[in-house]
């Protein structure tokens, strides 16, 4: 009986040159191998059977490849420099009424525009970063327990210090860079007013309320004589402009390593005027973001003297704003690319 | 962090406001309240009763019929002529004269209060005899696991307040279970180790209510230990950098038994679980002070020694939870001088556990490095109350006072006496013996400026002294338990919080009218979204992480993709290398959902590194990120994708040129074009290879594009415009068909035409009308409409004809074209 390997080589070669590669599966060599099985002593049969299956599988793969090759070969070439095909009409665009912008992009646009009008420069964030920017530069030393709160994705690949790279779990990963970039402006007497709105990642299981990939907005403001009341006033102004109505706001003390003091920021529910509804869980209040006065260590690490300058920072989710606005029930729809979902916006 | 208001009341000397108001103040000034538990409701109906008669129930071997005296307090219950209530009881310890806890009909059994279907008692016959409710065991009262008999209340029990233990007394009131528990988010206290004890929270509550707080002197004064003798004890600490302080003492002749009722009730209120008096006391002290402590059975340790060191690889330890942990060389272990007997700061060991037979114990009160504890906890998946507290960085300065409190409490509930000197192995890294960090010099101005306030020095001093932060002429001095007051801003936070952040003036910052710069990439992305949606395409957002299969389907090599090490699902193992495969992945499901002809687009970031593992890093040393604009078109061909591309380019005011594509893993070179702007390659538009079409289950006719966004950004500028001034004179038009060689490309033809007309002194615009190519034959016909416009005059028919004749002869020369 012929050796399986030899048969395999022979048949693969045949497939490679065949115009009808599928036919190779009917090769007599294969039949011979199959017949040979029956003559084997029972204890060898299992191994030989497996080898034959393996062989058939590899042939299948090769056949598919060859078929694709043949199909590729049979493709009719076209003049790609022409605006339309020969003997054809000029192609049209798709109907404009079907076109949509993703609701999250749209919301980011709305928020960016408000911030821009308030004097903030709007940055994007990164999708891969090092631990210095995600943690150290934000006053989370190595081993800091607050690092645990972020469920950060890490990469196999490492940075120059041999530390895993990370998928940023907050847009604050841009804070140090932005402050460094705008520091000359600060020293020239202009405040640093900047926001970053972009995609962030947390290693979480998916469910209707949790996504591992979502969007955050964050802002910083640094100047002389900035105080905590200004933080509250700025956020209130931003949210009132966003919801186009006046709102009550309140802050609760909180803990973040990168701000001191830190707050959770709540607004009166814009959907029920504080009377209680499903969006605010009947409480009349919605906890909308985290914020605080930028920690002096964070300023120092960006080369800004905390004795001279003070500032505030905030961060919050974008997805949730969009969900509340439209009553979207499942956060996973955002990245599902379902046209049923997208074409509603 | 569960806070018992009854416990708080024991620490403060003023009346607490109503619960609603208190919770709202805690929310605003201390931390988010997660839950308010009305513990009193759970025990509302439980009454202390005396058993007056007790007789076996005939026909059973263990049931007794009792008559109980409830002082007549319970309404709507059947009584005999003496006012006694009949209850059937199966407990072996039930007897005449004892005091017990009765749950009358209508009461919910406390241990089932949180169940989906709480057990509500009634008056129902048991073997033909009516039992009105039940006499309750400790387990039924949710006071521990003991279910061997009913709870016996001794008249000598310590009660809370002045309630006497008599029949008819409300059980909850008698033992302080008429309590409200406020659960405050732990996250808020990440930097406040002191707030993991009732004492610390009581101090904060006083502070935010504007009341002054005085810590009981036992936690303030220098402890006076009485050294005992009788039992040897030695402590060897090999890792003073990780264990700054380790205190231990032995106590001999203790009696291990269930805790007195008051202690059990205290523990239950604070969320603990009674076990035995020694263990309960250690937990109680921790819940009060936030300092975890531990008790060892002295005789089980057996060596009169405790060692503190890092574990060695290969060592194991059996823990109190019944598990055996294989240790790491970063774990702190407590040893008997040789082998590990506990995971320091995390969990005690099984071998040295205090049991009912224990006579002599070692008490430990120590400080462990928070980062080391965290690593051990994470590594072994052990999240104990001790871990919660040690990972916040407890103050080592509290160890001596807490140990003294622990010794006294042990002797109160278990007897015994100190039997060794108190060992205090320390190498403190604190500023002094009274404070963890150096005193802070902070000006009122510094504080006021950061809060926008105008508080006087006296107001500031009062706010701070309410929580025992003192001030001498120069400095603020934090008490020893405040590990968090390290820099001037910490004082600012403290003042702001105690004053009330909601009362800060809400001024907007002021800036000059210099406009904020709009980042061009953001502006261009917004523009592209508008353009492509106008072209009928749908923007999608897809994950930045993909399955290995997706990379392979698109012919990409996963070895060049960044890989996640801790992704929960294989769907997220790799950073995507390009965006288009993610879009192709979403085509099939939309086709199945009934959409036929559609286009998906996305602007996304991409990541990869080259063969040498070089990450192409930027100036910060992090990998460079690419950005791609990609589109997938279902049931549309190359020319439609190109039409969208062309529409996009002209909307941006730039011009794309298209040339045949050589080789590509995803696009079919025979039906795809390489696209350039100003000679710079920017991407590909085309149809997909059959292999890709099959892998992604795409419709037979499918196309798309992938462009480098950053190149596009560099090429687009707002000042570019393709506008040309309008002429005052009418234009003339001529349609012309050129018969050219079949192999001549449209681009070559167009170039010849535009080169020709560029030399004319009239403006000529060119519009392709059709390309006819018969199946056979060596030629094809290209028809154009030429529009002639002069800036100076109205062109006559003759002039146009002359131009056309010239044109025909030039085309003949250059393209061998015949005008037909």
DSSP letters along B415-457, please?
A: --EE-SPPEEEE---SSSSS-SS--B---HHHHHHHHT----H
Q: How far is CA A298 from CA A135, A166, A188, A260, B145, in A?
A: 10, 20, 20, 10, 50
Which ranges of A197-302 does DSSP label H, i.e. alpha helix?
228-243, 296-301
What's CA B562's distance to the chain center, in Å? 24
Q: What is the reported pLDDT for A10?
A: 87
Q: What is the mean pLDDT of residues B369-391?
A: 93
8 Å CB contact of B623 and A128: yes
CA distance B795 to B782: 25
**Is A140's Cβ below 8 Å from some Cβ in B?**
no
A306 interaction partners in chain B (CB closer than 8 Å): 489
pLDDT band for position A65 (cuts 50, 70, 90) = confident
Q: Stretch B747-765: mean pLDDT, rounded?
A: 92
- Residues B238, B210, single domain; the answer is no
Please give, rounded to a whole number of angstroms, the shortest distance from the CA of B98 to a CA of chain A.
Answer: 49
The total of other beta-carbon atoms located within 10 Å of residue A339's CB is: 21
Average pLDDT over residues A252-281: 90
In a domain, B294, yes or no: yes
- Region B525-551: mean pLDDT is 96
In this prediction, residue B585 carries a pLDDT of 97
pLDDT digits (tens, 9 = 90+) for B422-467: 999 999 889 998 899 999 999 999 999 999 999 999 999 999 999 9
pLDDT at B338: 94
Structural tokens at position B38: 């009305």
Percent of chain B topping pLDDT 90: 81
Asked if B189 lies within 8 A of A233 by C-beta distance, the reply is no
Domain boundary among B715, B740, B766: B715
Closest CA relative to residue B502, chosen from A239, A143, A251? A251
Query: Is the CB of residue B99 less than 8 Å from the CB of residue B165?
Result: yes
Residues B246 and B376 in one domain: yes
Indicate whether B114 belongs to any domain.
Answer: no
Indicate the length of chain B as a whole number.
820
Residue B207: which domain range? 2-40+179-215
Q: Using CA atoms, how far apart are residues B789 and B605, in angstroms rounded to an integer?
A: 46
Map tokens 């070969």 to a residue. A73
Alpha helices in B633-745 (DSSP H): 638-652, 690-695, 709-715
Check CB contact under 8 Å for B540 and A102: yes
User: Span A99-103, mean pLDDT?
Assistant: 97
Cα B774 → chain centroid: 67
Asked if residue B135 belongs to a domain, the reply is no
Within a domain: B721 = no
Distance between CA B188 and CA B201 in Å, rounded? 12
Q: What is the pLDDT at residue B507?
A: 94
Residue B820: which pLDDT band, with cuts at 50, 70 and 90? confident
Judging by beta carbons within 10 Å of its beta carbon (0-12, 13-18, 19+), is residue B322 exposed, middle or buried?
exposed
Please tell me which of the candidates A71, A78, A229 has its beta carbon nearest to residue B507: A229
Residues 369-398 of B with CB under 8 A from A: 370-371, 374-375, 378, 391-392
User: Contact A86/B772 with Cβ under 8 angstroms?
Assistant: yes
CA distances from B777 to B47, B306, B736, B741, B820 (A): 108, 100, 21, 9, 16
> B747 in contact with A at a CB cutoff of 8 Å?
yes
CA triplet B68, B73, B75: central angle to 5 degrees? 100
Residue A46 binned pLDDT confidence (cut-offs 50, 70, 90): confident
Averaged confidence pLDDT in chain A: 91
Q: Do A252 and B586 touch (CB under 8 A)?
A: no
- Find the angle CA(B630)-CA(B633)-CA(B642) to the nearest 5 degrees: 75
Q: Hey, which bits of B253-360 come out as E strands?
A: 293-297, 305-310, 316-318, 324-326, 332-335, 340-343, 347-348
Q: Which residue of A has its CA nearest to B446?
A: A307
Quote the CA–CA distance of B358 and B276 in Å, as a whole number. 11
**Tens of pLDDT, residues B581-591:** 999 999 999 99
A106-342 has CATH 3.30.930.10 classification:
yes
CA distance B294 to chain A (A): 23
Q: Rounding to the nearest 10 degrees, give the CA dihedral for residues B443, B449, B452, B454.
A: 40
* pLDDT at residue B69 in the model: 94
Evaluate whether residue B802 is within a structural domain. Answer: yes
- Look at residue B613 in the predicted model and tell me its pLDDT: 57
Per-position b or e across B616-635, b if 16+ CB within 10 A of its CB: eeeebebbebbbbbbbbbbb
Q: Is the pLDDT of residue B148 over 60?
A: yes
The interface pTM score, or ipTM, of the predicted complex is 0.88
Mean pLDDT on B257-284: 93
- At A21, the pLDDT band (50, 70, 90 cuts) reads confident
| Angle made by CA atoms B430, B432, B436, in degrees to the nearest 5 | 45
Query: Which of A64, A67, A73, A81 is the best residue to mutate to test the B interface, defined by the most B CB atoms within 10 Å of its own CB?
Result: A81
- What CATH code is carried by the domain that includes residue B31? 3.30.56.10
What is residue B203's predicted lDDT score, i.e. its pLDDT?
Answer: 97
Residue A145 has pLDDT above 80, yes or no: no
Distance CA A66, CA B442 (A): 79
- In tens, the pLDDT along B484-523 reads 999 999 999 999 999 999 899 999 999 989 999 999 999 9
Q: Can you give the pLDDT at residue B719?
A: 62
B541 vs A contacts (CB less than 8 Å): 102, 104-105, 334-335, 337
Number of domains in chain B: 5
Alpha-carbon distance values, A175 to A114, A130, A134, A172, B510 (Å): 20, 13, 9, 5, 21
Burial class (CB in 10 A: 0-12, 13-18, 19+), A234: buried
Instruction: Spell out which residues of chain B touch residue A339, defining contact as CB-CB under 8 Å.
Output: 538, 590, 593, 595, 598
Residues of B in contact with A94 (CB under 8 A): 535-537, 597-599, 636, 644
Of B464 and B775, the structure prediction assigns the larger pLDDT to: B464
- Residues 267 to 326 of A: which have CB under 8 A from any B CB? 293, 295-296, 306, 310
Chain B: residue whose CA lies nearest to A343:
B538
Mean pLDDT across the stretch B392-401?
95
User: For the residues B610-630, what does the mean pLDDT come to?
Assistant: 81
Q: How many residues does chain A have?
A: 345
Mean pLDDT along residues A263-277: 89
Between positions 171 and 190 of A, the ones with CB within 8 A of B are 177, 190
Domain boundary among B398, B426, B454: B426
Q: Are residues B356 and B467 in the same domain?
A: no
Say if A201 is an interface residue toward chain B (CB within 8 Å).
yes
| Among the listed residues B65, B46, B283, B255, the one whose alpha carbon sits nearest the alpha carbon of residue B151 | B46
Could you give the CA distance from residue B646 to residue B631 in angstroms, rounded to a whole number?
13
Chain-chain contact of B497 with A339 (C-beta, under 8 angstroms) = no
CA-nearest residue to A141 within chain B is: B371
- pLDDT value at B786 more than 90: yes
Nearest CA-CA partner of B478 in B491, B459, B492: B491
Mean of the per-residue pLDDT values of chain B? 93
Q: Is residue B205 within a helix (H) or strand (E), and if so which, with residue range?
A: helix B198-208
Q: How far apart are CA B591 and CA B587, in angstroms?
A: 6
B118: tokens are: 């709480």
Of A216, A211, A143, A341, nearest in space to B571 by CA: A211
Q: Say whether residue B517 is in contact with chain A using an 8 A CB cutoff.
A: yes
Q: Which residues face B296 on adjacent strands?
A: B362
Report the C-alpha gap between B675 and B686 in whole angstroms: 10
Contact of B186 with chain A, judged by CB distance below 8 Å, is answered with: no
How far is residue B362's CA from residue B377's CA, in Å, rounded to a whole number?
A: 24
- For chain A, report the end-to-end CA distance as a whole number of angstroms: 67
Give the side-chain half-sphere CA count within 13 A for B612.
3
The radius of gyration of chain B's CA atoms, rounded to the nearest angstrom, is 42
Q: Find, among B53, B418, B371, B61, the residue nearest to B231 by Cα.
A: B418
Tell me the C-alpha distance between A127 and A214, whole Å. 11
Q: In what order do the strands lie in the sheet with B347-348?
A: B234-237, B305-310, B332-335, B340-343, B347-348
Q: How far apart are CA B42 and CA B143, in angstroms?
A: 12
Of the listed ranges A12-16, A273-277, B442-446, the one predicted with least confidence: A273-277
Tokens of A335: 């990245």
Alpha carbon distance B413, B416 (integer Å): 9
Cβ-contact B386, B345 below 8 angstroms? yes
H-state helical runs in A75-188? 103-117, 131-134, 175-187
Q: What is the pLDDT of residue B720?
A: 65
Chain A: residue whose CA lies nearest to B528 = A101
Tally Cβ neighbours within 10 Å of residue A23: 12
What is the Cα–Cα distance from B380 to B518, expressed in whole angstroms?
A: 49
Do residues A144 and B374 make contact, with C-beta atoms less than 8 angstroms apart? no
**Whether residue B555 sits in one domain with residue B684:** yes
Q: How many CB atoms lie within 10 A of CB A165?
A: 25
pLDDT, position A310: 96
pLDDT value of residue A264:
92
Q: Are A234 and A240 in contact (CB under 8 A)?
A: no
As a whole number, mean pLDDT of residues A264-293 equals: 90
Q: Residue B412, SS3? A: helix
How much is the pLDDT for A205? 87
CA dist B340 and B798 (Å) reads 109
- What pLDDT sits at residue B615? 58
B547 and B682 housed in the same domain: yes
The owner of tokens 């409190």 is B405
User: Which residue in the set A80, A122, A342 is minimally distant from B672, CB to CB?
Assistant: A80
Task: Say yes or no to pLDDT of B71 above 70.
Answer: yes
B718 pLDDT tier (thresholds 50, 70, 90):
low
């Amino acid at each position: 009986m012929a050796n399986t390997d030899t048969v395999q080589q022979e048949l693969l070669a045949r497939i490679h040159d065949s115009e009808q590669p599928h036919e190779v599966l009917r090769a007599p060599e294969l039949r011979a191998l199959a017949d040979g099985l029956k003559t084997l002593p029972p204890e060898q049969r299992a191994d030989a059977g497996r080898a034959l299956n393996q062989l058939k599988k590899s042939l299948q793969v090769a056949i598919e490849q060859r078929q694709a090759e043949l199909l590729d070969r049979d493709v009719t070439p076209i003049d790609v420099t022409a605006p339309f095909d020969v003997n054809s009409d000029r192609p049209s665009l798709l109907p404009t009424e079907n076109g949509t912008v993703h609701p999250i992009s749209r919301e980011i646009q709305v928020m960016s525009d408000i911030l821009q009008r308030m004097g903030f420069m709007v940055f994007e964030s990164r999708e891969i970063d090092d631990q210095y920017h995600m943690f150290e530069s934000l006053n989370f030393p190595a081993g800091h327990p607050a690092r645990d709160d972020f469920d950060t994705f890490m990469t196999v690949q490492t940075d120059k210090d041999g530390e895993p790279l990370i998928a940023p779990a907050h847009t604050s990963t841009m804070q140090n860079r932005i402050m460094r970039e705008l520091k000359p402006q600060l020293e020239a007497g202009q405040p640093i007013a900047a926001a970053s709105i972009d995609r962030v990642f947390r290693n979480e299981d998916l469910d209707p309320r949790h996504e591992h990939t979502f969007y955050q907005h964050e802002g910083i403001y640094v100047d002389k004589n900035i105080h905590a009341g200004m933080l509250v006033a700025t956020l209130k102004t931003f949210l009132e402009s966003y919801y186009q109505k006046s709102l009550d706001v309140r802050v609760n003390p909180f803990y973040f390593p990168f701000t001191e003091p830190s707050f959770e920021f709540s607004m009166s529910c814009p959907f029920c005027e504080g009377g209680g509804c499903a969006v605010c869980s009947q409480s009349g209040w919605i906890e909308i973001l985290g914020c605080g006065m930028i920690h002096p260590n964070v300023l120092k690490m960006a080369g800004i003297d905390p004795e001279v300058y003070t500032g505030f920072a905030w961060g919050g989710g974008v997805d949730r704003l969009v969900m509340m606005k439209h009553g979207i029930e499942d956060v996973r729809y955002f990245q599902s690319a379902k046209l049923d979902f997208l074409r509603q916006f | 962090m569960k806070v018992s208001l009854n416990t708080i009341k024991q620490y403060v000397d003023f009346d607490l406001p109503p619960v609603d108001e208190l919770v709202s103040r805690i929310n605003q000034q201390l931390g988010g309240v997660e839950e308010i538990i009305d513990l009193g409701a759970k025990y509302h109906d439980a009454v202390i009763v005396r058993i007056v008669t007790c007789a076996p129930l005939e026909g059973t071997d263990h049931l007794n019929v009792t008559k109980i005296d409830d002082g007549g307090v319970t309404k709507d219950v059947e009584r005999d002529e003496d006012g006694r209530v009949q209850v059937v009881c199966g407990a072996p310890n039930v007897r005449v004269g004892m005091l017990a806890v009765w749950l009358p009909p209508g009461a919910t059994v406390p241990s089932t209060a949180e169940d989906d279907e709480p057990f509500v008692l009634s008056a129902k016959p048991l073997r033909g005899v009516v039992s009105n409710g039940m006499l309750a065991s400790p387990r039924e009262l949710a006071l521990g696991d003991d279910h061997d008999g009913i709870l016996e209340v001794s008249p000598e029990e310590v009660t809370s307040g002045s309630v006497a233990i008599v029949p008819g007394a409300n059980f909850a009131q008698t033992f302080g279970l008429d309590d409200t528990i406020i659960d405050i988010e732990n996250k808020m206290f990440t930097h406040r180790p002191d707030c993991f004890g009732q004492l610390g929270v009581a101090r904060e509550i006083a502070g935010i209510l504007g009341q002054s707080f005085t810590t009981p002197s036992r936690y303030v004064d220098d402890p006076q230990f009485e050294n005992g003798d009788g039992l040897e004890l030695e402590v060897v600490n090999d890792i003073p950098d990780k264990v700054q302080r380790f205190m231990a003492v032995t106590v001999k002749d203790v009696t291990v038994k269930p805790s007195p009722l008051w202690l059990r009730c205290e523990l239950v209120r604070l969320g603990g679980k009674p076990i035995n008096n020694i263990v309960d006391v250690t937990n109680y002290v921790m819940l009060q002070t936030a300092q975890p402590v531990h008790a060892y059975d002295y005789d089980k340790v057996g060596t009169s020694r405790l060692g503190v060191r890092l574990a060695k690889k290969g060592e194991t330890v059996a823990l109190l939870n019944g598990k055996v942990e294989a240790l790491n060389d970063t774990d702190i272990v407590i040893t008997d001088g040789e082998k590990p007997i506990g995971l320091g700061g995390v969990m005690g060991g099984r071998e040295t556990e205090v049991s009912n037979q224990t006579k002599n114990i070692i008490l430990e009160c120590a400080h462990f490095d928070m980062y080391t504890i965290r690593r051990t906890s994470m590594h072994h998946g052990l999240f104990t109350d001790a871990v919660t507290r040690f990972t916040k960085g407890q103050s080592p300065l509290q160890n001596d006072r807490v140990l003294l409190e622990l010794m006294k409490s042990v002797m109160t509930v278990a007897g015994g006496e100190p039997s060794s000197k108190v060992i205090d192995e320390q190498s403190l890294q604190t500023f002094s013996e009274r404070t963890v960090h150096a005193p802070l010099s902070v000006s009122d101005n510094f504080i006021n400026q950061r809060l926008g306030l105008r508080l006087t020095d006296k107001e500031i001093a009062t706010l701070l002294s309410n929580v025992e932060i003192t001030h001498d002429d120069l400095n603020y001095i934090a008490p020893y338990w405040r590990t968090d007051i390290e820099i001037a801003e910490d004082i600012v936070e403290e003042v702001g919080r105690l004053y009330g952040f909601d009362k800060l003036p809400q001024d907007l910052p002021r800036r000059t009218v210099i406009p904020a710069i709009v980042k061009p990439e953001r502006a261009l992305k917004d523009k592209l979204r508008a353009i492509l949606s106008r072209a009928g395409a749908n923007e999608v957002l897809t994950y930045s992480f993909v399955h290995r299969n997706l990379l392979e389907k698109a012919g990409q090599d996963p070895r060049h993709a960044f890989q996640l090490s801790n992704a929960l699902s294989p769907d997220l193992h790799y950073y995507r290398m390009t965006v288009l495969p993610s879009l192709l992945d979403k085509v099939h499901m939309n086709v199945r959902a009934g959409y036929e002809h559609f286009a998906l687009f996305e602007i996304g970031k991409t990541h990869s590194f080259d063969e040498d593992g070089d990450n192409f890093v930027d100036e910060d040393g992090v990998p460079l990120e690419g950005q791609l604009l990609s589109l997938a078109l279902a049931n549309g061909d190359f020319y439609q994708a190109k039409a969208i591309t062309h529409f996009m380019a002209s909307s941006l005011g730039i011009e794309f040129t298209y040339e045949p594509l050589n080789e590509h893993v995803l696009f079919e070179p025979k039906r795809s074009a390489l696209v350039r702007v100003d000679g710079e390659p920017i991407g590909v538009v085309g149809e997909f290879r059959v292999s890709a079409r099959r892998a992604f289950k795409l419709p037979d006719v499918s196309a798309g594009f992938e462009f480098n966004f950053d190149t596009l950004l560099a090429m687009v500028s707002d000042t570019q415009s393709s506008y040309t001034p309008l002429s005052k004179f009418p234009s003339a038009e001529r349609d012309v068909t050129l018969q050219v060689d079949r192999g001549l490309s449209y681009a070559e033809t167009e170039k010849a035409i535009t080169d020709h007309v560029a030399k004319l002194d009239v403006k000529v615009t060119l519009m392709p009308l059709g390309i006819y190519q018969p199946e056979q034959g060596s030629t094809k016909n290209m028809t154009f409409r030429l529009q002639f416009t002069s800036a100076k005059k109205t062109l006559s028919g003759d002039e146009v004809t002359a131009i056309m004749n010239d044109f025909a002869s030039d085309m003949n020369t250059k393209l061998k074209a015949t005008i037909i």
